[in-house]
């Protein structure tokens, strides 16, 4: 495929990114949306009440790519932004964080997606999205960087890219490319209900690719949404409704309480790490970065419960550190910071 003159690469990867289990060449490719979040400069107000907004880079798959790089891993991002100031700003932020951007495309006919996000005083999150359509929704299959996708040891994605065409077909094609080349498929549905036409459409869209994933990370709220009135704490309900024969690892995150894990051989729970909460934005993405970074360098973790639990404790610490600072990407931790927190846990105040 011809190089896109407007794409940039920040790292050249060795050809053998899928080599032996701990050779250091362990590329995670993240596919999906990259956007600007506008967050009120004061806490606890509605969007209408906010006196001003601060811009922050956002988009779960992009956060995960930066998180992995921050932890010392190899990552790449595949997606589309507008051929505008915000689009170039976002691509630059990825490059500054050592994320490979050879799969980033720029659309001259649509703008970079914007999201206004606030946490109101009543604890409810309020979203206002500008995607009518935005550039990320317009990524075409012909624009995919096949080379970088086929190098992925792990190919990670969400469900927002399944909402509209042409991005939906492009997403499915990229999954197929990755699977054929031997990548592990990782899925974090990351439910954003206001973006879907209806609750039923969201449920159907999220579940439409469920059976193809090797790894799925899901929150308690998302389980409740997907399976209805059944108890999301009941292991048997979770296994019956959400575990599929090809799945290697299902993780249920429980916020500050930690997470549960399910594989074909074993299941269990790992406690969270207590920290002082400033902003929960990006905590789930930091958790995903932590576990994928561990898995990318050692795919045998699936089979070894002791090592899997250690990796999940590490991922929990990644999430816990992220909530101590504002914003997602600025708060994503380094490996040194995570190990330090694990050795000297901070009491939550």
348 is written with which tokens? 């939550």
Q: How far apart are CA 36 and CA 58, in angstroms?
A: 5
User: What is the mean pLDDT of the segment spanning 98-115?
Assistant: 97
Give the chain's length.
349
Which uninterrupted H or E stretch holds 237? helix 235-242
CB 261 within 8 A of CB 270: yes
Bigger pLDDT: 126 vs 136? 136
Tell me the pLDDT of the chain averaged across its residues.
89
Confidence label for 92 from pLDDT (cuts 50, 70 and 90): very high
Active site (catalytic) residues = 285
Give the Cα separation of 327 and 196 in Å (integer): 24
Tell me how many degrees the CA angle 142-113-223 measures, rounded to the nearest 5.
Answer: 90
pLDDT at residue 346, rounded to an integer? 66
List pLDDT tens digits, range 240-284. Answer: 889 999 999 999 999 889 999 999 999 999 999 888 887 788 899
How is residue 288 written in tokens? 């995903």
pLDDT, residue 230, reads 67
pLDDT exceeds cutoff 90 at 324:
no
Q: How does residue 25 score in pLDDT terms, banded at 50, 70 and 90?
A: low
Above 60 in pLDDT, residue 209? yes
pLDDT the model gives residue 123: 66
Calpha distance 278→155 (Å, rounded): 31
Q: Residue 79: which residues within 8 A CB-CB, separation 6 or more?
A: 31, 32, 33, 34, 59, 61, 62, 103, 104, 105, 136, 139, 161
**Separation between Cα atoms, residue 244 and residue 218, nearest integer Å:** 14
Residue 1: is its pLDDT beyond 50? no
State the Cα–Cα distance between residues 290 and 156, nearest whole angstrom: 13
Residue 24's φ and ψ, nearest 5 degrees, are 85, -15
Q: In what order do the strands lie in the sheet with 258-262?
A: 100-107, 74-82, 27-31, 154-157, 184-187, 215-219, 249-253, 258-262, 267-271
Q: Could you tell me the pTM of the whole model?
A: 0.91
């Amino acid at each position: 495929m011809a190089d896109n003159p407007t794409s940039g690469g920040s790292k050249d990867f060795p050809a053998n990114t899928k080599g032996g289990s701990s050779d250091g060449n362990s590329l995670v490719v993240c596919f999906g949306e990259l956007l600007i979040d506008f967050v009120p400069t004061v806490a606890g107000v509605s969007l209408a009440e906010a006196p001003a907004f601060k811009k922050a880079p956002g988009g779960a798959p992009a956060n995960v790519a930066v998180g992995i790089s921050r932890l010392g891993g190899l990552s790449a991002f595949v997606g589309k932004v507008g051929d505008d100031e915000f689009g170039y700003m976002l691509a630059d932020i990825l490059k500054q964080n050592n994320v490979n951007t050879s799969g980033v495309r720029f659309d001259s006919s649509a703008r970079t997606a914007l999201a206004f996000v606030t946490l109101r005083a009543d604890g409810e999150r309020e979203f206002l999205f500008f995607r009518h359509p935005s550039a990320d929704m317009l990524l075409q299959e012909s624009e995919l960087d096949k080379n970088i996708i086929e190098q992925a040891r792990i190919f990670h994605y969400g469900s927002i890219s399944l909402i509209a065409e042409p991005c939906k077909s492009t997403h499915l094609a990229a999954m197929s490319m990755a699977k054929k080349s031997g990548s592990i498929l990782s899925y974090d549905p990351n439910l954003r209900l206001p973006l879907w036409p209806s609750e039923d459409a969201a449920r159907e869209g999220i579940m439409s690719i469920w059976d193809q994933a090797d790894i799925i990370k899901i929150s308690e709220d998302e389980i409740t949404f997907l399976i209805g009135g059944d108890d999301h704490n009941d292991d048997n309900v979770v296994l019956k409704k959400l575990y599929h024969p090809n799945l290697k690892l299902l993780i249920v995150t429980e916020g500050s309480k930690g997470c549960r894990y399910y594989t074909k051989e074993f299941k269990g729970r790992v406690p969270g790490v207590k920290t002082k909460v400033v902003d929960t934005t990006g905590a789930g993405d930091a958790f995903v970065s932590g576990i994928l970074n561990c898995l990318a360098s050692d795919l045998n973790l699936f089979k070894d419960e002791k090592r899997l639990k250690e990796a999940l404790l590490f991922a929990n610490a990644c999430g816990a550190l992220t909530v101590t600072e504002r914003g997602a990407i600025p708060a994503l931790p380094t490996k040194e910071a995570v190990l330090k927190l694990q050795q000297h846990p901070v009491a939550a105040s």
